[in-house]
């Protein structure tokens, strides 16, 4: 192992990201980041005795270039004797049917596919190649969309079975590592178009701010994200204890109005947010404010959250009702 790989091993061990003999599925696009992740995990595989496999999604958005990415991944995995799962999606058609953006559609398809493979083939961890620059981009993206405080925590290093072990590495670190390994990778030309919001932030906004503030922006945003992550951990424990003490049933979506009214608006919003997520609803600031305002009205009122979910004030309770 070289110095970068040794540091990667130390990081994974320190953060307890993997257990020995674990089955790990790697997301592999063929780009620099995911190829670096494959190389790093391959380097530490003998030490942690990991069972590795990779998964590739061809979203068929770039014609022959998408097919070339798929071919590259197949050859790379064959050379390294790593099993590869691969699939193709008609992303444009699916996005039109779901009325979602191409970015969101591809992301949802990707993670659903990874989780399907993990469940079918007993992989206990799914790894993605997000890095420090992605984290900065995500924080600014969330901020531009009107994120809550907790949305500024950026990308989680681990959430459930999904692990992102390269968040401490910068994009420059990754490219230097691949250069030292003389490892080829694919380049997605669409990454250089600022038509997408995230690309605009990465290509235009971040370089401008870094130049203005003498390259302090990224470091300060990552420090902020770390602080918010600590706050989120504290808040999770606090709200769990709060729900146990009071008649606030997150699992059933059933809250006593009197108990909710005894809380601060911030606590109310966080409880509503967690209840909505159990119904697969990602709440925005307006919806959370509307739900808090509901407590200032009277029994019999309701809020239509989506075609499939309503929130009712019925008697002494706030109820989340599936339609």
CATH class in words for 3-212: alpha beta
231's enclosing H/E stretch is: helix 217-245
- Look at residue 214 in the predicted model and tell me its pLDDT: 82
* CA-closest candidate to residue 146, choices 284, 272, 306: 284
From first to last of the 323 residues of the chain, give the pLDDT tens digit.
999 999 999 999 999 999 999 999 999 999 999 999 999 999 999 999 999 999 999 999 999 999 999 999 999 999 999 999 999 999 999 999 999 888 889 999 999 999 999 999 999 999 999 999 999 999 999 888 877 788 899 999 999 999 999 999 999 999 999 999 999 999 988 888 888 888 999 999 999 999 998 888 899 999 999 999 999 899 989 988 888 776 777 777 888 999 999 999 999 999 998 889 888 888 888 899 999 999 999 999 999 999 889 999 999 999 999 88
Determine phi and psi for 146, rounding to 5 degrees.
85, 45
- Domain regions of the chain by residue span: 3-212, 246-322
- Look at residue 274 in the predicted model and tell me its pLDDT: 87
* CA-closest candidate to residue 109, choices 178, 56, 174: 56
Q: For 49-131, where are the alpha helices, taking DSSP H only? A: 64-80, 91-98, 102-121
Structural tokens at position 48? 């942690």
Count CB-CB contacts under 10 A for residue 46.
9
Pairing of β 309-314 and β 302-306:
antiparallel
Q: What is the CATH number of domain 246-322?
A: 3.30.465
Contact between residue 118 and residue 161 where contact means Cβ atoms under 8 Å apart: yes
- Look at residue 132 in the predicted model and tell me its pLDDT: 95
Beta bridge partners of 162: 126, 159
**pTM to 2 decimals?**
0.83
Count CB-CB contacts under 10 A for residue 177.
21
């Amino acid at each position: 192992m070289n110095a970068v790989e040794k540091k990667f091993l130390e990081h994974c061990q320190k953060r307890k990201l993997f257990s020995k003999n674990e089955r790990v599925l790697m997301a592999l696009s063929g780009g620099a980041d995911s190829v670096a992740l494959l190389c790093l995990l391959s380097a530490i595989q003998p030490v942690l005795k990991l069972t590795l496999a990779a998964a590739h999604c061809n979203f068929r958005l770039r014609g022959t270039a998408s097919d070339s990415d798929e071919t590259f991944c197949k050859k790379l995995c064959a050379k390294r004797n790593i099993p590869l799962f691969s699939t193709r999606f008609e992303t444009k058609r699916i996005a039109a049917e779901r009325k979602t953006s191409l970015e969101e559609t591809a992301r949802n398809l990707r993670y659903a596919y990874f989780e399907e493979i993990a469940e079918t083939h007993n992989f206990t961890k799914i790894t993605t190649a997000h890095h420090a620059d992605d984290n900065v981009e995500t924080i600014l993206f969330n901020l531009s969309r009107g994120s809550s405080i907790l949305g500024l925590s950026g990308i989680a290093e681990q959430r459930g079975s999904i692990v992102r072990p390269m968040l401490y590495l910068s994009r420059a670190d990754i490219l230097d590592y691949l250069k030292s390994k003389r490892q080829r990778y694919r380049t997605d030309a669409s990454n250089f178009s600022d038509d997408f919001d995230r690309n605009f932030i990465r290509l235009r906004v971040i370089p401008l701010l870094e130049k203005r503030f003498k390259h302090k922006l990224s470091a300060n945003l990552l420090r902020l994200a770390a602080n918010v992550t600590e706050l989120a951990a504290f808040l999770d424990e606090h709200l769990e204890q709060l729900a146990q003490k009071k008649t606030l049933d997150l699992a059933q979506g059933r809250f006593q109005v009197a108990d909710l009214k005894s809380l601060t608006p911030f606590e109310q919003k966080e409880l509503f947010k967690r209840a909505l997520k159990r119904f697969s609803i990602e709440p925005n600031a307006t919806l959370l404010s509307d739900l808090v305002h509901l407590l200032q009205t009277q029994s019999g009122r309701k809020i239509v959250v989506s075609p499939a979910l309503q929130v009712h004030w019925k008697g002494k309770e706030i109820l989340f009702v599936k339609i």
